[in-house]
């Protein structure tokens, strides 16, 4: 199976001097879905922002991230940003257009030119997330779950090969979570999901990475990792209920 | 608290005025504003004519009259602030009346335009007439985030009020200052995150 994402010795320091990532290494195979877990401030979001070149602010001479074998450099950025769709934690940061239609069309228009026919792709993306009929609505008027799905439609409309999702279920009610989970299960793209929602990781990701203090602490099969109670507690996490109460009925 | 549909609350009503092409509405509104501003004050009948036209549009558009009056009253103090200065010159009463009339007609025109045409359609018209793209983006972002900011300010103000146990004016002003400062920092950070989100979808 080919490698979709490769991260080699990724280090990052915030502009205020705080060290955020210290030598991150991992690879993700095409079609794989991996969970990125860890306590608050561990560096999960910072890793994700490196995957389509939002960070570092100034491109380095020795790129540490490779997408389908291509290094993330200034020249490769347009192609890499088309390939890697990034879902931000706060939907209000991502939905900035006056209507849902325009927001979903934003990505395709950036990549294909302002005059490019995008209606078909926008409709297909809205259909995928179950929001047909929302085209003229203002993103501000939507519920948190709907906003999250519009964000996802905006990414899907660019037809990315990889989806990088930062806390996709945060702020969602149980129904919203279930709908999003079903939706993500249907998408064939390679996925990296950074989340505190360990049940989501159990159900969607066969493999998980545990990050803390800017380092990868463990890279293992999800069930093996999440069942290691001592390791989980040591890094501010806990064994999810779904694993504690799995009885053979 | 300002509601998020403050600018164009009635813009999605259904009337023949609402169904008119946004480009036409914008052009006619600008023409009315220009004519009103340039019209010499002695042509009182022309002002009556414009006012009648606006009233007909208001009735046809089914926007509640109370809403229009309230909106005008809200904006009128700004006009009066300028008009009052005219009273200090000789024959000031006439000039005062002309300024108030002209400004009220212009304001009513713009209130009617923004409440019969969704903001996104107005931006679309500007885009079609090749208005500078950067300016359109700025307007769109302002429209989108103004109310996110207002909401955030409201939440911070409530949180602060719930922990403020004094009514001393100085303390209230001090806390207001902190809220404004915090709001500025939060807006800057949000702007950075929005920009990152735009870049990740191909913005150059």
Please name the residue of chain A whose CA is at the shortest distance from the CA of residue B201. Answer: A107
Chain A residues touching B185 at Cβ < 8 A:
none
Region B124-145: what's the mean pLDDT?
A: 89
CA-CA distance, A47 to B58, in Å (whole number)? 55
Q: Residue A98 and residue B196: Cβ atoms within 8 Å?
A: no
Mutation target vs A (from B122, B139, B201, B203; most A CBs, 10 A cutoff): B201
ipTM given for this complex: 0.82
Band (pLDDT 50/70/90 cuts) for residue B154 is confident
DSSP secondary structure of A136-149: TS-GGGS-HHHHHH
Token couple for B67 = 């809403």
**Per-residue model confidence (pLDDT) at position A42:** 93
The pLDDT tens digits of the residues spanning A187-212 come to 999 999 999 999 999 999 999 999 99
CA-CA distance, A126 to A113, in Å (whole number)? 20
Token couple for B70 = 């309230």
Q: Is the pLDDT of residue B2 over 80?
A: no
Q: Residue B196 and residue A81: Cβ atoms within 8 Å?
A: no
- The partner residue sitting opposite A93, judged by closest CB among B123, B147, B193, is B193
Check if the beta carbon of residue B186 is closer than 8 Å to that of residue B148.
Answer: no
Residues 6+ apart with CB under 8 A from A82: A111, A158, A159, A160, B202
Q: Is the pLDDT of residue B120 over 60?
A: yes
Rg (CA), chain B: 21
Token couple for B23 = 């480009």
Q: Residue A81 and residue B123: Cβ atoms within 8 Å?
A: no
Nearest to A65, CA basis, from A31, A27, A29: A27
Is B174 within 8 Å of chain A by CB? no
Q: Residue A96 and residue B197: Cβ atoms within 8 Å?
A: yes
Handedness of CA B142, A111, A156, B188 (dihedral sign): negative
Q: Mean pLDDT for chain B?
A: 87
pTM: 0.79
CA-CA distance, B181 to A194, in Å (whole number)? 32
Nearest to A201, CA basis, from A176, A175, A227: A227
Chain B residues touching A107 at Cβ < 8 A:
201-202
**Per-residue model confidence (pLDDT) at position B109:** 96
Band (pLDDT 50/70/90 cuts) for residue B169 is confident
CA-CA distance, A145 to A174, in Å (whole number)? 10
Q: Residue A140 and residue B202: Cβ atoms within 8 Å?
A: no
Q: Residue A140 and residue B123: Cβ atoms within 8 Å?
A: no
Chain B residues touching A72 at Cβ < 8 A:
none
- Helix (H) or strand (E) run with residue A163 in it: strand A162-166
C-alpha dist (Å) from residue B37 to B30, B90, B98, B184: 11, 21, 10, 37
Check if the beta carbon of residue A51 is closer than 8 Å to that of residue A88.
Answer: no
The pLDDT tens digits of the residues spanning B71-89 come to 999 888 988 888 888 888 8
Is A160 within 8 Å of chain B by CB? no
CA-CA distance, B106 to B72, in Å (whole number)? 10
**Per-residue model confidence (pLDDT) at position A217:** 96
Residues 6+ apart with CB under 8 A from B136: B123, B126, B127
- Helix, strand, coil % over all residues of chain A, rounded to 5: 35, 25, 40
**How many beta carbons lie within 10 A of that of residue B34, not counting itself?**
11
CA-CA distance, A40 to B173, in Å (whole number)? 34
Cα B38 → chain centroid: 22
Q: Is the pLDDT of residue B172 over 90?
A: no
Is B186 within 8 Å of chain A by CB? no
The 8-class DSSP code of residue B117 comes to S
**Per-residue model confidence (pLDDT) at position A197:** 93
pLDDT tens for chain A, 249 residues long, are: 799 999 999 999 988 888 999 999 999 999 999 999 999 999 999 999 999 889 888 777 788 999 999 999 888 888 999 999 999 999 988 998 888 998 999 999 888 877 678 889 999 999 999 999 999 888 888 999 999 999 999 999 999 999 999 999 998 899 989 999 999 999 999 999 999 999 999 999 999 999 999 999 999 999 999 999 999 999 999 988 888 776 555
């Amino acid at each position: 199976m080919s490698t979709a994402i490769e991260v080699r010795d990724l280090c990052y320091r915030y502009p205020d001097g705080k060290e955020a990532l210290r030598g991150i290494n991992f690879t993700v195979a095409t079609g794989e879905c991996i969970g990125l877990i860890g306590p608050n401030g561990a560096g999960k979001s910072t890793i994700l922002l490196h995957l389509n070149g939002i960070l570092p602010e100034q491109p380095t001479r020795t790129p540490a991230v490779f997408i389908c074998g291509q290094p993330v450099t200034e020249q490769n950025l347009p192609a890499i940003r088309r390939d890697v769709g990034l879902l931000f934690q706060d939907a209000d940061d991502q939905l900035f257009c006056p209507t849902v239609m325009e927001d979903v069309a934003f990505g395709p228009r950036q990549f294909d030119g302002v005059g490019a026919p995008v209606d078909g792709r926008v409709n297909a993306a809205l259909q995928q997330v179950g929001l047909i009929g929302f085209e003229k609505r203002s993103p501000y008027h939507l519920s948190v779950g709907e906003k999250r799905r519009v964000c996802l439609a905006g990414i899907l409309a660019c037809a990315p090969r990889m989806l990088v999702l930062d806390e996709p279920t945060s702020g969602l009610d149980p129904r919203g979570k279930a709908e999003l989970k079903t939706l993500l299960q249907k998408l064939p793209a390679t996925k990296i999901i950074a989340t505190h929602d360990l049940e989501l990781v159990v159900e969607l990701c066969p493999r998980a990475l545990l990050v803390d203090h800017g380092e990868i602490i463990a890279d293992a099969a999800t069930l093996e990792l999440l069942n290691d109670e001592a390791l989980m507690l040591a890094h501010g996490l806990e064994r999810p209920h779904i694993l504690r109460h799995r009885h053979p009925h | 608290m300002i509601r998020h549909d403050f600018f164009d609350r009635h813009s999605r009503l259904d009337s023949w005025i609402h169904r008119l092409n946004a480009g036409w509405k914008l052009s006619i509104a600008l023409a009315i504003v220009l004519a009103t501003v340039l019209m010499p004050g002695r042509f009182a009948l022309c002002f009556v004519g414009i006012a009648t036209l606006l009233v007909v549009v208001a009735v046809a558009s089914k926007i509640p009259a109370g809403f229009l009056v309230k909106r005008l009253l809200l904006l009128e103090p700004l006009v009066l602030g300028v008009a009052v200065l005219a009273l200090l010159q000789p024959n000031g009463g006439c000039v005062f009346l002309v300024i108030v009339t002209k400004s009220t007609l212009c304001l009513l025109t713009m209130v009617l335009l923004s409440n019969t045409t969704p903001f996104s359609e107005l931006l679309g018209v500007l885009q079609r007439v090749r208005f500078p793209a950067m300016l359109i983006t700025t307007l769109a972002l302002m429209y989108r985030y103004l109310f996110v900011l207002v909401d955030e300010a409201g939440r911070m103000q409530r949180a602060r009020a719930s922990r403020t146990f004094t009514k001393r004016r100085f303390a209230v002003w001090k806390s207001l200052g902190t809220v404004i400062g915090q709001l500025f920092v939060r807006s800057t950070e949000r702007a950075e995150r929005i920009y990152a989100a735009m870049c990740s979808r191909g913005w150059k």
